[in-house]
Structure 1
Amino acid sequence: MPLPDFLQPRPDTPVEVFAPSAAALPLVCDSPHSGTAYPADFGHCVDMALLRRGEDTDVHKLWQRWPAHGATLLAATFPRTYIDVNRSADDIDPAQLATAWPSPLAPGVKTRQGLGLIWQRIVRDGQATPLYDRKLSVAEVQSRLRHYWQPYHAALQQAIDASVARFGGVWHLNLHSMPNDVYRRLGRTDATLADFVLGDRDGTTCAPEFIRLVGELLQAGGYSVAYNEPYKGVELIGRIGQPQLNRHSLQIEIRRPIYMDEDTRAPNAGFAPLQAHLDKVMQGVADYVRAQLPLAGAV
C-alpha cells in the first residue's frame, strides 16, 4: 500500500524555514522531531504505525504562528527515527554498523539505550522493537548526515547567527512533544508527568527569568509545568545556550495526549484550545524579548 502524501519522502526539502511575517525579533524556534516525510532509503523492518510513535507529530503546527510574532521558525521534514538532529554527529553505537566508522565515535547514554543519532529501536507499551533486521553501512549513515543532519544544523545556525549579528543576542526555543508513558519507560511509578516540561540543562542554557516566564505563561492556560524533570535538554540547546553572551536556549516538551491520539497520531479535542493558548504564550514571549532590546553590543 502506498504511503499517504504527508508521509512521502521530501529529499529536496530536509528543513522548512519560516521567516518572520511581523517585525523581526531575536527569536528563533525550531521543531527538530515533527517531520513525517519518510525517506525512501530508510530500510526499516517495523510497520509504519509503530515507527510513527517516534514523531513529535504536529508540534510545528501547534506553534505555527511564531513568525506572526516576529520569530523565525524551523521544522525538520524527516523523522527523528531516520536521523536525530538533536544528537551530535558522532553519537553512534559502533555495534549497529556493518564496518568500522572512519573516525572516533562518542556514543552517549541514550545511544546505548538505542536512541542515539540513528535510532535502533522503538518502544510501545514498555516493549522495545528493533527498527532494523540488519547492520547499517557507513555509507548510508554518512548519506543521512550529509543530506539531512547537516542541512538542518546549517539552517538553524544561520538563523541563530543572523539574530546575534543584528540584535546582539538571541532567544531560542527548541520545541518537542513527549509520550505519556515516559515515567513507565524510566521504571518509575512515583511520578506524574506534567503537561509541559521545560528544560535548560539545570539552569545553564538560559536566564532563570526566561524559563520562569514561559512556565507562568503556560500555567495561565491551566496546564501543569515541570522544570528539567524528566527532560533537561540535549544537543541543540546545549550548543546554542550561552546566557552570559545573551544567547538563551530553552527546550519545551508537550505531553502528547493533551493534543493528539498517540496511536493514530491524529489531533484530538485538545488541539485547538492548546494551539489558541500557545498563541498567547508566543505573544508573551515576544513582548518579553522586545523589552530586552536593545541588547549591549547590538548593531
Structure 2
Amino acid sequence: MQLITHLPGRTPLVLDSPHSGTTYPADFAYACDLSTLRSAEDTHVEKLYDFAPALGVHWIEAHFPRSYLDANRDTTEIDVTLFDTPWPEPVATDPKVLSKVRLGKGLIWRTTDDGVEIYQRKLTVAEVQARIAQCWQPYHAAVAQAIEAAHRQHGYSLHINCHSMPAVASSNATEFPGEEHADFVVGDREGTTASTALSRLMCEHLSGLGYSVAYNHPYKGVELVRRYGDPAQQRHSIQLEINRKLYMNEQTFAMTAGFEPLKASLRSLVERLLKTDPRTFQVL
C-alpha cells in the first residue's frame, strides 16, 4: 500500500498536501460512519495542484487519511485517553496545543469535526507507534528533504502547505464554530514562518483574481509550517486553505463546475511564486 507520494522538483517551490489521503488502512478499525469520517479529508486538493510537478515543483502527498494520523501535528500532540495502557513517549504541555487535543484533534483523532467519536475501543501503544513510523516519519522526511534540496539549489525555498476547509466551521474544528470562512486563508503563524511580504503577495494575488482572502484567521498554520519555516534563513513556509464550496459538494464529495476555474487560479498563483525571489522580491 502506497502511503506517500514524493515527486522531487527542480524549482525553489515545494508543495505538500498532508490531508487529502483517501486510502484507509485495514488496521484503522474505526466505528463511525465512513461518510462522516471522510468529512475530515481535504478532498481533491491533490487534483487541484496536479499541474505542479510538470512545472518543476516539488510535490509531497499523503495517501493515508488525516483521521488515521494527522501529519500536520507534532508527535507529542497525543490524547492519552485513547490508550489501553499509558503512553510512554513525551506529551505536549502547551495550553494552545492541549486545547486542540481536547477537541479530539491531536496526532490521532478521537472525534470528527462534528464531535462524533471515531472509536469504540481503546488503541494500543504499538499500533499508534506503527502509524508514526509508517506515516508521520516518512512524510516529514520527504518534506524536509524537498525543502533542503530547493534551498541548497536556489539559496531559498518557498513551501506551501496545501489544505481545504469547510465553508462553515464545524463544532469541533476550530475555536470559532459556525464561522463562515473566506475563499482563502493564508497563514504564516503571524509572520514567524515566512516573510510577511511573501504572504501579502499571495493575498494580493488571490484578491486580484476576485477571491475573498483572510490572513492568519482562523488558520495560522500548524506543525508543517512551524517546523520547516525559518524566514531569517530564507526558508519560507505558508499554509494555504481553500474553501471547499469553491470546487466541491461538501455532502457528496463530488467536484463541481467551479473546480477547473479554481485550478486555473491556483496555477496562476504557483506561476507567480515561481517568478518571485523572496530575497529581493524582484521578478525572475
Task: Output the TM-score relative to the length of structure 1.
Answer: 0.87
Quick one: which of 211, 227, 233 aligns to 2:221?
A: 233
Aligned to 1:66: 52
Residues 128-207 of structure 1 aligned to structure 2 (within 5 Å)? 128-182=115-169, 186=175, 192-207=180-195
Unpaired stretches in structure 1, ≥5 consecutive residues: 1-9, 295-299
Aligned to 1:15: 4
1:222–1:14: structure 2 CA closer, same or farther, 3 Å change rule? Answer: same
The separation in 2 between residues aligned to 1:50 and 1:31, in whole angstroms, is 21
The separation in 1 between residues aligned to 2:45 and 2:203, in whole angstroms, is 18
Amino acid at match of 1:16: T
Give CA-to-partner distance per residue, 1:100-157, whole Å, 9 cap, x none.
1122211622111100000001134xxx210000111001000100111111111111
Aligned to 1:85: 71
Quick one: which of 6, 28, 31 aligns to 2:17?
A: 31
Judge conservation of contact 2:77–2:107 (CA < 8 Å) in 1. Answer: yes
Corresponding residue SS for 1:158? helix
- Deviation, 1:292, is 5.3
Judge conservation of contact 2:12–2:274 (CA < 8 Å) in 1. Answer: no
Aligned to 1:7: none
Runs (4+) off by over 3 Å:
183-189, 289-294
Judge conservation of contact 1:69–1:282 (CA < 8 Å) in 2. Answer: no
Give CA-to-partner distance per residue, 1:183-213, whole Å, 9 cap, x none.
7654566x54210000000111111111111
- Deviation, 1:18, is 2.3
Aligned to 1:5: none
Task: Output the TM-score relative to the length of structure 2.
Answer: 0.92
Aligned to 2:259: 271
Give CA-to-partner distance per residue, 1:154-196, whole Å, 9 cap, x none.
111111111222222211000000112217654566x542100
Judge conservation of contact 1:178–1:255 (CA < 8 Å) in 2. Answer: yes
- Deviation, 1:293, is 9.7
Judge conservation of contact 1:27–1:71 (CA < 8 Å) in 2. Answer: yes
Amino acid at match of 1:226: A
The separation in 2 between residues aligned to 1:273 and 1:291, in whole angstroms, is 31
Count residues with an aligned counterpart: 276
Corresponding residue SS for 1:74? strand
1:249–1:60: structure 2 CA closer, same or farther, 3 Å change rule? Answer: same
Judge conservation of contact 1:69–1:286 (CA < 8 Å) in 2. Answer: no
The separation in 2 between residues aligned to 1:152 and 1:229, in whole angstroms, is 26
1:41–1:265: structure 2 CA closer, same or farther, 3 Å change rule? Answer: same
Corresponding residue SS for 2:131? helix
The separation in 1 between residues aligned to 2:196 and 2:86, in whole angstroms, is 43
